[in-house]
Amino acid sequence: MLAGRTVVLGVTGGIAAYKAVEVCRRLVDAGAHVAPVMTEGAERFVGRVTFDALASQPVQGSLFDGRDPIPHTRLGQEADVVLVCPATARLIGSYAAGISDDLLTATLLATRAPVLLCPAMHTEMWEHAAVQANIETLRRRGVQMVPPGVGPLAGGDLGAGRLAEPATIVAAVERILSPGDLAGLRILVSAGGTREPIDPVRVITNRSSGKQGYALATAAAERGAKVTLVTTVDRAEPPGVEIVRVGSAAEMQEAIVPGAAGYDVIIMAAAVADFRVSAPAEHKIRKSGGNLPALDLEPTHDFLVDLGRDKPEGQVLVGFAAETDDVIESARAKLARKGLDLIVANDVSAAGTGFEHDTNSVTILHAGGAEVQVPLSSKRAVADAVLDAVLRARS
């Protein structure tokens, strides 16, 4: 989403300026071209050389110290988005009043790109009527905000005004630059491997990390969908996504099936167990004379079949097939047997794919017979490819 996009990163003079370093790093890692602009006050908190080293081009800080006679105009025209992180009360007031007394405020007034402000200041300042009035003025003009959080502040105080976390800020930039092609859709994504109890201590599970499911939920939210993520794993929560935590296959079924008809898209990326212990022990099974306990297994209910059978008109149902042999043949058989619209097949025995990796390589099979190959890519890129296929299936 950020690859090849230009982000003008404005850094102002607040103690939270140190977090802008991490924001810069994350933007560059995501492929963005980051053009840093620091105010004089910002350089009292963070060294210019830090951003020189991390950003895509050297820091600019003045209207008059370079060979470019109109740097604010050039920056404003080249930007895909202008991000100010942190945005102090002074910056917010100057911007709202249309005062361009430095390079950053001049750039904000000279751009037609989307502007995203990340306010950060002490609670008393944040809650001041003048600051709130300026915020409201800017909102009416279309300026977007990442609201500050509540937490520890400079000086040991606790309250509202804390700069949002870098991951939240970068996600907001991605949402601004996303195509918004999933806006209005309700999407449910499942993630992780279910855990079937043996006794109160032990479980039967699998190697699924949930990374692909979380990537799907993140991408769908950034593309405008209202997303519910039903997950068995504890990972960083994607911003703006409703989280439902479950453990076993039966719990996942109970969390998904009753309300399934209310979703436009269901993506079952979770690795749901095929078997469970028929009678889990009430107490921990202890070693006794070296004898191994016998486990009586029974199949879990394949509720994806129920979802396919009862799928309302217009809903797109997506399954996953993690295979080690006969990958495409097995996946296409599941596609038909379970009444799916799409199935994502991947060979989890191949290098760099499947469980626990940050990359994946898949084939997306359509019920109509089409196939889309996604070569080894980040799981986020795979997620976008799956969502693209969902949109084609809805058309």
Residues 207-226 pLDDT 10s: 899 999 999 998 899 888 99
Residue 349 has pLDDT above 80, yes or no: yes
pLDDT of residue 290: 67
Residue 74 has pLDDT above 80, yes or no: yes
Cβ proximity of 301 and 249 under 8 Å: yes
Q: Residues 189-208: what's their mean pLDDT?
A: 94
Cα dihedral: 204, 218, 172, 133 (round 10): -80
Q: Residues 44-62: what's their mean pLDDT?
A: 95
- Tell me the percentage of the chain whose pLDDT exceeds 90: 72
- pLDDT-derived band at 355 (thresholds 50, 70, 90) equals confident
Q: Express each pLDDT in 221-273 by its tens digit.
A: 988 899 999 999 998 888 789 999 999 999 999 999 999 999 999 999 999 99
Residue 66 has pLDDT above 80, yes or no: no
**What's the DSSP call for residue 224?**
T
- In sequence order, what are the residues at sequence separation of 6 or more whose Cβ sits closer than 8 angstroms to the Cβ of residue 341? 316, 317, 318, 366, 367, 393
pLDDT of residue 55: 97
- Tell me the percentage of the chain whose pLDDT exceeds 70: 99
- pLDDT-derived band at 170 (thresholds 50, 70, 90) equals very high
CATH 3.40.50.10300 domain position(s) in the chain: 186-394
- Which residue in the list 134, 206, 291, 360 is annotated as catalytic? 206
pLDDT of residue 176: 87
Residue 98 has pLDDT above 80, yes or no: yes
CATH 3.40.50.1950 domain position(s) in the chain: 6-177
Residue 350 has pLDDT above 90, yes or no: no
- pLDDT-derived band at 289 (thresholds 50, 70, 90) equals low
Where is pLDDT greater, at 260 or 292?
260
Cβ proximity of 270 and 191 under 8 Å: yes
Cβ proximity of 376 and 359 under 8 Å: yes
Q: How far apart are CA 117 and CA 18, in angstroms?
A: 16
Q: Express each pLDDT in 305-339 by its tens digit.
A: 999 999 999 999 999 998 888 999 999 999 999 99
pLDDT of residue 287: 79
pLDDT of residue 243: 97
- Architecture per CATH, domain 186-394, reads as 3-Layer(aba) Sandwich (3.40)
- Where is mean pLDDT largest: 106-110, 120-124, 142-146? 106-110
Residue 171 has pLDDT above 70, yes or no: yes
Where is pLDDT greater, at 63 or 250?
250
Residue 380 has pLDDT above 80, yes or no: yes
206 is catalytic: yes
- Phi, psi torsion values for 392, nearest 5 degrees: -65, -40
Closest CA to 271 of 204, 218, 338: 204
Where is pLDDT greater, at 247 or 159?
247
Mean pLDDT for the chain overall = 92
pLDDT of residue 178: 80
- pLDDT-derived band at 153 (thresholds 50, 70, 90) equals confident
Where is pLDDT greater, at 353 or 250?
250
Q: Calculate the CA 171 to chain-centre distance.
A: 6
pLDDT of residue 41: 96
Q: How far apart are CA 65 and CA 75, in angstroms?
A: 15
- In sequence order, what are the residues at sequence separation of 6 or more whose Cβ sits closer than 8 angstroms to the Cβ of residue 387? 182, 216, 219, 220, 223
- Architecture per CATH, domain 6-177, reads as 3-Layer(aba) Sandwich (3.40)
Q: Residues 177-187: what's their mean pLDDT?
A: 90
